[in-house]
A and B are shown apart, each in its own frame.
Chain A
Amino acid sequence: QSALTQPASVSGSPGQSITISCTGTKSDIGSYNLVSWYQQHPDKTPKLIIYEGTKRPSGISPRFSASNSGTAASLTISGLQAEDEADYYCSSYSGRNTAIFGTGTKVTVL
């Protein structure tokens, strides 16, 4: 069970769009449409922003969107805002009643 691979950091200017990649394997992302994404601000608990690959929970801004392709997933933040500066984690079901998180990406708003 190796962690899903994410870039350590991504940055962008206010108003820009950024994309965070999440690379897995045939055993997790490639086999199940159960990828979720979380936002974690410093010293806060994680917050679910995407589930089942592309769906947004109630109350989550439409500026957050996601997609899956093969063994990879991606999260796009459009119209980047200062409040989006946080750590972001992907997660996937990985079979045999287990889940796996990504390595995490620190988003910096320049």
Chain B
Amino acid sequence: EVQLVESGGGLVQPGRSVRLSCSGSGFTFENFAMHWVRQAPGKGLEWVSGISGSSATIGYADSVRDRFTISRDNARNSLFLQMDNLRPDDMAFYYCAKDRGPFGDYAFDLWGQGTLVTVSS
């Protein structure tokens, strides 16, 4: 079955860190760019970060640059998001999303179910 499964969300205090993981299956993981997209409860979608299939190309939204780090391990079909210095406005469901192409077509054709990150003291 073609799917993405996120893990790692939970309650975290402001200023602390959390690492999200996403496991892909049913497709050749290394052949596709991958992204993280977030959605605060009741709000719209926000692109967070993306990484090409080879990890050569990486991008971040201004709101998370210098605090979040995206990476991937193609041998383990896994995508990661290291989130440091978390702020209350980072609270959201974080979705792992597959790109249609290897370098970034920026069209997300497969989504995980999301993992909720709650930032609160």
Cα A103 to Cα B79 in complex, Å, equals 26
**Residues from chain B with Cβ under 8 Å of A45 in the complex:** 95, 111-114
> Which listed residue, B44, B50, B58, B109, touches A99 by the CB 8 Å rule?
B50
State whether the Cβ of B11 lies closer than 8 Å to any Cβ in chain A.
no
- With CB as the reference atom, state the residue of chain B lying closest to A95: B59
**Residues from chain B with Cβ under 8 Å of A100 in the complex:** 47
Encoded as 1 (CB less than 8 Å from any A CB) or 0, chain B from 82 to 112 comes to: 0000000000000100001000111111011
Cα A51 to Cα B107 in complex, Å, equals 6
Cα A92 to Cα B104 in complex, Å, equals 11
**Residues from chain B with Cβ under 8 Å of A72 in the complex:** none
Cα A38 to Cα B57 in complex, Å, equals 24
Number of interface residues of A (CB under 8 A): 26
Cα A91 to Cα B112 in complex, Å, equals 18
Number of interface residues of B (CB under 8 A): 26
Q: Can you name 25 A-B pairs with beta carbons within 8 Å?
A: A1-B61, A1-B63, A3-B44, A3-B46, A36-B106, A36-B107, A38-B45, A38-B108, A40-B45, A45-B111, A46-B95, A46-B108, A47-B111, A48-B109, A51-B100, A51-B107, A51-B109, A52-B105, A52-B107, A89-B44, A91-B108, A97-B58, A98-B50, A99-B59, A100-B47
Given A52-B105, A104-B44, A104-B45, 19 extra CB contacts under 8 A: A34-B105, A38-B45, A38-B108, A40-B45, A45-B114, A48-B109, A51-B100, A51-B107, A57-B109, A91-B45, A91-B47, A96-B59, A97-B58, A98-B50, A98-B61, A99-B35, A99-B106, A101-B37, A101-B45
